[in-house]
Structure 1
Amino acid sequence: MVKISELFHDDWKNFFEASYDGIIIADEMGRIVYMNHAAEILEEVDKEYILGRYASDLLEEGIYETSVTVKVFKSKKKETIMQFKGGRQLVITGVPAFKNGKIKWVYINERDVTELAQIKHDKKVVMKQLEKYKKELEAIKKRNAEDNLLTSSNSKMQENMGLLQRIAPSEVSVLIIGESGVGKDVFANWIHKHSLRKEEPFIKIDCGALSESLLESELFGYEKNSFTGASQKGKVGLAEAADKGTLFLDEIGEMPLNLQTKLLRLVQDSTFLPVGSVEEKKVDIRIIAATNRDLEEMVEKKLFREDLYYRLNVVPVKLPPLRERKEDLFDFIDLFLKRYNEKHGYRKTISQEAVNGLYSYSWPGNVRELANIIERLVIVTPKAEIGIEDVMRAMPNFTDAGINTIFEINGRYIDAMDAFEGEYLKKIMGKYTTIKEMAEQIGISESTLKRRLRKHRLHFTAKINHDLGGQD
C-alpha cells in the first residue's frame, strides 16, 4: 500500500491550497509556519504579515480577538472557537499533534459558516412565524367552533343573536340568564370578541366557586401582608387585570351580600378598594354577568341587592335550555363528533338510531352535557359506529322512550322533526297519568307539552282530557 507521504511528496502544499477551508499550521513554539490562500481570504490578511510570527504576539497586538493556537497550547487538547471577520462567521478548530509527549504541531482549520448560520437564523424566524400562524389558526378554529355553537334554527336563539349583534359594539352591561350548561360563557366571550374591546383582556371569574374571602381577594386584589398567608408582594385583582377589557362575572347569583356592595361600586363608579388598602383604584372595564338563578326572586327575598340587580340587568339575554331548542341538537351532535374525533384521533360515526335516542333525552345538563356525552361515546365505543346500545351504556339515566321510532326522512328538515316529535309523544304518553308528571319527566313545561299535543292532535285518557281543561 502506498503511503500518503510518498503519494504527495512535495505536492502537499498544492493539496492544502486547493481547500475551500482555511488551513494554518503552527510549530511547537506556537509560531505560524504555514497559511493557505483560503485562510488569507477568510481572515482578510496578507499571509506574509502572519507567517513566522507567534500566535501569542498576534493576540496581544489585537490581530486576533482570541487565538485557538494559544488555547490548544494551554489545554493540550483540541479546541474550537467562533470568530467574526469582515462580516463572516468562522468556526476555527485547532488540533495538536504530539511527539514525545509534547506538542509538535498545531493544525488549524477555518470554516466559513456564515451561510449556514443565516440558514439556521432563517429557520428560527420561519419556525417562529409558523408557530404564530399555528396559534392564529387555533384561535380561528376556536372562534369558528364557538360561532357554530351560537348558530341556531331556534327562533328564540335567533332573536338572541340579533340582540347580541346590536349590543356587542356598545358599552352596555349585559346579564345572561340560563340554566347551567347552556353556554353562557360562550355568549359572553362572543360579545367581547365583537366589541370595541376585543383586543383587550377578557377576564372570567366564577362567583360560585370560591369562598367569600377568596372571592374578594381574587376579584379586588390585596395589599402585601393584608391578612395571614397573604403574599409579601400583594396581588393584582381580576378587576384590575381586566382594565380596558371585559370582566365576566359568572354565576353572579352566588355572590355573598357583603361583596355585592363592593361590586356595586365597581359597576357604578368603576372604582374598587383592594383588601387591606385605603387607596381606591379606578379601572375602565365592561361588565358582563351571568346567572342560572332567578335574581328577581332573590331581590324580593333580600338575597340580592336591588340596586346591583338593575345595574347589571341593563340588557338581559335569556338563553333557552337545550330541551326547548331540540332542532339544534342534530347540528350539535355533528359539531361535537367532529371536534372529539379530531381531538382523540378517531373517525367515529353515529347511527340514526343513536341520534334518535339522543333526541329523545331531556338533557338536564344542556349543551355541556351533550358535549361530554359525545366525547365519552367517541372514546369508549369500541366500534367505528356509535350505536344506540353504546348510548345506553354511556348514559345510566337514559330512557329508551322513543328510540325505536322509525319514520321516513325524505322531505324538509322541519317536516322530519315534526314527524319524529309526533311519534315520540305518541309512544311515551301512555306511561304517565297526568300532564304535569309527563312534562316533568321529559323536561318541558306543561304549557309547551299541551301545545305540542294539540299540534299533533294527540289525546290522553278521559282523566288527562279533563286535566287539559277543554282547551283542545
Structure 2
Amino acid sequence: MEKIIEFSADGLYVVNHEGVTLFVNTAYEEITGFKREELIGFHMGDLIKRGYLDQSVSLLVLNEKKRISILQQIGQQKKDVIATGNPVFDESGAISMVVTSVRDLTHLNELTKELTKAKTFSQLSQNRYTFSTDGSDEQIIFQSMRMKEIIHKIHQIAPFPTSVLLSGPSGAGKEVIANLIHQLSDRKDEPFIKVNCGAIPEQLLESELFGYEKGAFTGARNEGKIGLLELADKGTVLLDEIGEMPLPLQVKLLRVLQEKKIQRVGGTETKQLDIRIISATNKKLKELVLKGLFREDLYYRLQVVELSIPPLCERPEDIEILLDHFFAYFSRQYAIKKNVSEETKRILQNYHWPGNVRELRNLVESMLVSVPSFTIEPVDLPPHFTTQLDIVAPTTMKQRVEQYEKRIVQDALQKNTSIRKTANFLGVDHSTLVKKMKKWQMTKE
C-alpha cells in the first residue's frame, strides 16, 4: 500500500486520531520542500507553531468529523494548493486517521491569469481603439463614436503638412491628440516642440519663438539665441493656448506661415523654415476675431483643418473605460490593487466632469493612494461629487455604523480565500456573515 501511495502525483499526508503525523509521500515532499523526517512523529499543532504551515485541514477534520477542503499557501516557496482531508472511521464510528491529499494549483493559477489577460485583450480589440505615442505612456482610450470619427480624421490628415487647429475645453486631451498627429506623420523622427503661449510672459514670448541676434536688446546673450520655431525645423510645433498670443506677435506668426521664413529679433537675415503648426485653444477663436482680439487672416491660416475635441460629459461612453484604464495604469505604477463599487461607478458616470479627462485621471490617482480600503465606495469620493448629484450620505448613527461594517466585511473578503475563513477572521458566525452578504448583495469572487 505504501508503494502505491508513493506513486501518487498528489501529495498525501496521514495523521492519527490525535493529529500526529504518521506518513508523508514523496509528492508532498516535492510540493512543499519539506522532508518527511521533519514531519513524521510531530503533532500538527506543533508544526503550525514552527511555521511549516499556517493551518491544518487534518485538525479541522478531527474537530468537525467530516471531509473538508481548504485553499492555502504551503511550503518554502508558498505554493498555492488545495488540501482535502478525509476522515477514516473505525468499526465503533470514531476517527482512526485522517488522509489528506494536497494538489499543487500553482501552474493552474498561472494558466488562469494568462487566460484572463487574453480575454482582456480580446475585449480591448472589440470595444476600444487605442493609439500609443512613441516614447510616452500616453494613450487615447475611447469607444464613443465622436472620438472614433476624430481618430479617423487624424489618420487622414496626419501625412500632410497642413495646419491643424485643436479646439476644446481644458483637460479634454488636445495635447495627446497633437502627439498622435505628429507620430502618424512623416515628421515623427523630427523635433516636436510644444509652446504654451499663455505661460510665457508677453515680453519674452517673441524672443523665445523667433530667437534673437547678438546685442538685440539689454540682457541678451552675447552669442544670441535660436528660437523654438527654428529649432523645430523639419518637425512640428504645438502652439498651446494660441488665443493668448498678443496681436503684434500674431502678425509675425502669420508671416512665418505665409512665407515659410523666419527672422530673429534684431536680425536682418531670413531663414527658410519647414514646420507644421498645430495650435490648440479652449477659447472660441471666432468670437475673439469679432472682438478684435485675434487676427482673422491668422485664424484661417491656422484653421486649415479644425478638430473639435468634445468634453467628457458629451461622450459618457468613454468614462468607464477611461476609469478602468487609469486604475490599471496607476495600480501598476504604485503596486496597489483596488476596485470600484458599482454605486461609485454610477456616480462617476453621471458626474459632469468640468476638468474632463485630466480631472478623471487625477481623481483615480488620488483615490488609489488615499483610500485605505480595497473597495472604493461613494463615501470615499470628494464631497462635490455627491453634492452635485444630490446623493444622500449616511447621517444617522445606525447608517454610519452599517456603512463602516460593510467596508470591514468587503476588506475581509478580499483578504481571505473563502466565506468561512472570512467569518473566522472577523470573529462572527458563518451564517451571520452570509445573511449580511445577502442583505448588501455581496459576493465572494
Report the TM-score range of the alignment, normalised by the length of the smaller protein: 0.5 to 0.7
How much is the aligned-residue C-alpha RMSD, in angstroms?
Answer: 2.2
* 2:138 aligned residue: 146
* 2:349 aligned residue: 359
Cα 1:303–1:276 change in 2 (3 A) is same
Equivalent residue letter for 1:401: L
* 2:201 aligned residue: 211
Contact 1:176 1:291 in 2 (8 A): yes
CA distance in 1, matches of 2:151, 2:312: 16
Shift of residue 266 of structure 1? 1.2
Deviations 1:21-41 (A, max 9, x none): xxxxxxxxxxxxxxxxxxxxx
> Secondary structure of the equivalent of 1:339?
helix
Compare 267-276 and 247-256 and name the one that shifted more: 267-276
Corresponding position: 1:227 with 2:217: yes
Deviations 1:290-329 (A, max 9, x none): 1111111111111111110010100110111000001100
* 1:82 aligned residue: none
Cα 1:141–1:212 change in 2 (3 A) is closer
* 1:254 aligned residue: 244
Corresponding position: 1:162 with 2:152: yes
Compare 380-389 and 307-316 and name the one that shifted more: 380-389
* 2:389 aligned residue: 401
CA distance in 2, matches of 1:183, 1:371: 11
Cα 1:173–1:140 change in 2 (3 A) is closer
> Secondary structure of the equivalent of 2:381?
helix
Contact 1:360 1:402 in 2 (8 A): no
Equivalent residue letter for 1:399: T
Corresponding position: 1:189 with 2:189: no
Shift of residue 276 of structure 1? 1.8
Shift of residue 367 of structure 1? 0.6
CA distance in 1, matches of 2:351, 2:298: 38
Corresponding position: 1:347 with 2:337: yes
Q: 1:306 aligns with which of 296, 304, 315?
A: 296
CA distance in 2, matches of 1:341, 1:274: 48
> Secondary structure of the equivalent of 1:357?
helix
Equivalent residue letter for 2:222: Q
Aligned residues: 263
CA distance in 1, matches of 2:270, 2:161: 23
Deviations 1:426-457 (A, max 9, x none): xxxxxxxxxxxxxxxxxxxxxxxxxxxxxxxx
Deviations 1:218-273 (A, max 9, x none): 11111233222222222211101111100111111110001000000111112122
Cα 1:318–1:141 change in 2 (3 A) is closer
CA distance in 2, matches of 1:206, 1:352: 39
Corresponding position: 1:383 with 2:373: yes
* 1:174 aligned residue: 164
CA distance in 1, matches of 2:340, 2:269: 60
Equivalent residue letter for 2:143: S
The alignment's TM-score, normalised by the length of structure 2, stands at 0.56
Contact 2:239 2:279 in 1 (8 A): yes
Contact 2:164 2:278 in 1 (8 A): yes
CA distance in 2, matches of 1:145, 1:184: 16
Contact 2:197 2:245 in 1 (8 A): yes
Task: Identify unmatched segments of 5+ residues in structure 2.
Answer: 1-130, 393-445
CA distance in 1, matches of 2:184, 2:272: 25
Contact 1:353 1:403 in 2 (8 A): no
CA distance in 2, matches of 1:141, 1:402: 40
CA distance in 2, matches of 1:309, 1:141: 28
Contact 1:361 1:399 in 2 (8 A): no
CA distance in 2, matches of 1:253, 1:398: 35
Percent identity over the alignment is: 49
Shift of residue 349 of structure 1? 1.9
Equivalent residue letter for 1:249: L
CA distance in 2, matches of 1:152, 1:387: 25
The alignment's TM-score, normalised by the length of structure 1, stands at 0.53
Task: Identify unmatched segments of 5+ residues in structure 1.
Answer: 1-138, 405-472
Q: 1:276 aligns with which of 249, 252, 266?
A: 266
* 2:230 aligned residue: 240
